[in-house]
């Protein structure tokens, strides 16, 4: 069964820093590596929907064919997440 799903939620950018040791409050440390990934509630819902192989109204992966026409883009910031991994 194929159905369409509209995802309502935020899309954030996750900044992932590879570190040797986790920072303490107020401490500045160096990162060994840095990558950016899309994230946020809306993005996570979109990924779950794609996993279920339904139609999706959001762009998650350029290799997936999704309908972008109903997407509303607003002039406002979303969110950022700074994540440390060892």
Task: Report pTM.
Answer: 0.55
pLDDT of residue 23: 93
If we measure between CA atoms, which residue out of 39, 49, 4, 31 comes closest to residue 86?
A: 31
φ/ψ (deg, to 5) at 45: -65, -40
pLDDT of residue 58: 52
Residue ranges covered by each domain of the chain:
4-85
Burial classification of residue 57, based on how many CB atoms lie within 10 Å of its CB (0-12 exposed, 13-18 middle, 19 or more buried): middle
Whole-number Å distance between alpha carbons of 30 and 36:
17
φ/ψ (deg, to 5) at 25: -55, 130
Question: 10-residue block means of pLDDT along the chain (86 residues)?
Answer: 69 89 93 87 75 57 54 69 89
pLDDT of residue 24: 94
């Amino acid at each position: 069964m194929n159905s369409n799903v509209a995802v309502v939620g935020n899309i954030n950018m996750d900044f992932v820093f590879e570190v040797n040791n986790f920072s303490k409050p107020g401490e500045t440390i160096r990162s060994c590596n840095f990558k950016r990934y899309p994230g946020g509630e809306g993005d996570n819902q979109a990924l779950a929907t794609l996993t279920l192989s339904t139609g999706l109204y959001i762009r998650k992966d350029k290799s997936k064919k999704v309908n972008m026409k109903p997407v509303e883009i607003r002039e406002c910031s979303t969110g950022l997440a700074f994540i440390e991994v060892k």
